[in-house]
Amino acid sequence: MASDTVQSPTVSSRRNRPARRGRRSAALLVGTLLGPLLVGSLSLGAVAAPADREAREAAPGAPGAPAVPPTASPYTGLAATPGPVLAIKVDNSVRARPHTGLAEADLVYVEKVEAGMSRLMAVYASRRPPVVGPVRSARESDLELLKQFGRPALAYSGVQKKLQPHIDRDTVFAVPQERHRGPYFRDQSRRAPHNLYVRPDDVLPYAPHASHSADIGLRFGPVPPGGFPRREAAVQYRAARTSFTWSPREGRWLAFFDDRPAMGTDGRQLGASTVVIQYVTMRPSDFSDSAGHVTPFIETVGSGRALVLRDGRGYVTRWDRPRPGAGTTFTRLGGRPMLFARGQVWIVYADR
């Protein structure tokens, strides 16, 4: 169908500016808080860490306050009607770009996969675009990550044979292209396998009992005190780099893949109101790809450090997720919830 053709604008080759060096004393403070980092895994940029005043702030999201108003999305903090949760695995190789439909996602996760490459998982509940893609395969880590959403629908294409029984036993409503071809189509203007797309509205009938959006631990509200000025940040995998630059004009963090603007097929650069760089353990799993590269398992249950970026500032936080069925909370050093900016949230997993 002509309406299914996905247009691909030219992507600029502009590179991110290198992060600025901050004052030595402030850098030492932040380095102490974040702990040792692998060289190149995170660009710390300019920092200035004033004393944390959040203990004196009575803000929405504090203990005892409601998570979000019943008319707001628990994933973005924006007005929304609760809807079924649909997660879609999205290709992020060079030939998969620009992407379609990511700007409408509530949440975008950036995951490390085989050979140090990256893949995306987009989560939709507030609104659904007509088309999302390119779509690629699922991983074992996705099953643990998605349990905090209850029983969401999961759209993907392809999975390792040894992993399929795990998916069949899991609580997600799996809607893979191999079993349900109706929602999927290929854009013949692109080369396979980077040309498979999905229509979200056509996926959900295959998952009529998918869980609706509910609290997963995120809190939204005004800019918290403290933090430190921040304009750029990056996470480096062996073969992929994801970075962000704060845009005062647009009031959001603009995304870059491999130092090129992360573009949508609508011609607009992707970005988020809040970016979370979450430090996790990525251990070898029991699975590997056809070339023998071992698939990393991303441990999203547990606790650790995270850097939260919002409104041109960075906040050192702690993440906690006690069990697979629980949500993930982010707290400030003083123990108060970290308030996210309302809007799309990106969560990038980084090696501890």
How do residues 56-104 score in pLDDT, each as one tens digit? 333 333 444 456 667 899 999 999 998 999 999 999 999 999 999 999 9
- Residue 100, strand partner residues: 133
* 197 shares a domain with 223: no
Residue 26 is predicted with a pLDDT of 39
Q: Residue 99 and residue 195: Cα distance in Å, rounded?
A: 10
Rounded to the nearest integer, the mean pLDDT of the chain is 85
Number of structural domains the chain divides into = 2
- Contact (CB, 8 A) for 256 and 242: yes
| Lowest model confidence (mean pLDDT) among 19-23, 100-104, 310-314 | 19-23
- Span 115-120, mean pLDDT? 96
* 346 shares a domain with 221: yes
- Please report whether residue 4 resides in a domain: no
22 pLDDT tier (thresholds 50, 70, 90): very low
* 164 shares a domain with 60: no
What percentage of the chain exceeds 70 in pLDDT? 80
Q: Which domain holds residue 49?
A: 24-67+217-351
Q: Identify which has the larger pLDDT, 124 or 165.
A: 124
* 80 shares a domain with 158: yes
Q: Identify the domain boundary among 206, 228, 243.
A: 206
Residue 117 is predicted with a pLDDT of 96
Structure tokens at 329: 């909370």
- Contact (CB, 8 A) for 83 and 91: no
Q: Is the pLDDT reported for residue 272 higher than 60?
A: yes
- Please report whether residue 9 resides in a domain: no
Q: Is the pLDDT reported for residue 233 higher than 70?
A: yes
- Please report whether residue 12 resides in a domain: no
* 296 shares a domain with 174: no
- Please report whether residue 211 resides in a domain: no
Exposure string of 161-187, with b = 16+ CB inside 10 Å and e = fewer, is eebeeebeebebbbbbbeebeebbbbb
Q: Is the pLDDT reported for residue 183 higher than 70?
A: yes
Structure tokens at 88: 């879609």
* 160 shares a domain with 264: no
* 61 shares a domain with 128: no
